[in-house]
Copies of this chain bind each other. A is one copy, B any other.
Amino acid sequence: MALTGARKWLNEVIFGTDTPAGKLFDVVLIWAILLSVALVLLASVQSWWVRYGEVFFVLEWFFTALFTVEYLTRIYCARDRREYIFSFYGVVDLLAILPSYLALIFTGATYLMVIRLLRVLRIFRILKLVRYLRDANILARSLWQARRRILVFYAGVLVLCIIFGSVMFVVEGPQHGFTSIPKSIYWTIVTITTVGFGDITPHTPLGQTIASMTMLIGYSIIAVPTGIVTAELAHELGREKQLARCHNCGRAGHDADSEFCKHCGYRLEEFEPTPSD
């Protein structure tokens, strides 16, 4: 369906990024999102809420009104309204304004307030349109390619944590903070990931020996996801450059380490992803 008149213009401004008005709209929206997220963060600080509660309240309704108008306009000027409403960003847009209205009905404001933070996801829609996208794509594709290997790795780590956790439960016991097997497994995860809060620590020599083994194993297997991701990433980076087309002559197929187009000598730094990408 071809849009016409005001609806077409609104669509270009809100969904597009090519016109000056569309670019301005994106910049304003990013700032509105960042400010409203900062607002939710600061409002959660007890002392600030007590002092500036009214200011927070007014500003929150200002942003809610703004995002409501934006949401309704998006529905109005969308090419396919159904598709937009049930798309990922359509749902996020709704979740960004719904909590404020629901807070009028329900009183448990804390949980609703947190949902507002999903607004931060809206930033990605706008970033999607700029050149940072391609780098995000490489990362995402690498992680996606490695998904099965990462899952297998996680399964192995979890089984290791269950076994070490239950051994520590038997060795240290409730008197040293290892009150149950799930808690021991929590401790093992804290230790094997090298986080080491120190809220629970082994006190017996045997427990400390097993803990040392856990740490050294954790230290070593941290290498596995790194190896997986590095291998995939190096592969993706190489492919990316080979697929890229030169800005000047439009030809692709360059070596992974080329700095200049091999056909016309144009500097290749300003890549453009190929359409098939």
Contact = CB atoms under 8 A, between A and B. Distances in A.
Given A124-B159, A142-B227, A185-B212, 4 more contacts: A186-B209, A190-B196, A195-B196, A231-B233
A250 interface: no
Given A152-B136, A231-B233, A257-B239, A163 B193 contact: no
A30 interface: no
Contact of A150 (B181, B186, B220): B220
A227 B237 CA distance: 11
A153 interface: yes
A92 to B, nearest CB: 12
A275 interface: no
Contacts of A180: 41, 44-46
Contacts of A159: 120-121, 123-124
A234 B233 contact: no
Interface residues of A, number: 90
B153 A139 contact: yes
Contacts of A223: 225-230
A167 interface: yes
Contacts of A45: 179-182
Interface stretch (A1-9, A97-105, A198-206): A198-206
Contact of A199 (B151, B156, B198): B198
16 contacts: A41-B181, A41-B182, A114-B169, A120-B163, A124-B159, A139-B153, A139-B228, A154-B216, A185-B212, A190-B196, A190-B215, A197-B197, A222-B222, A226-B226, A226-B227, A238-B257
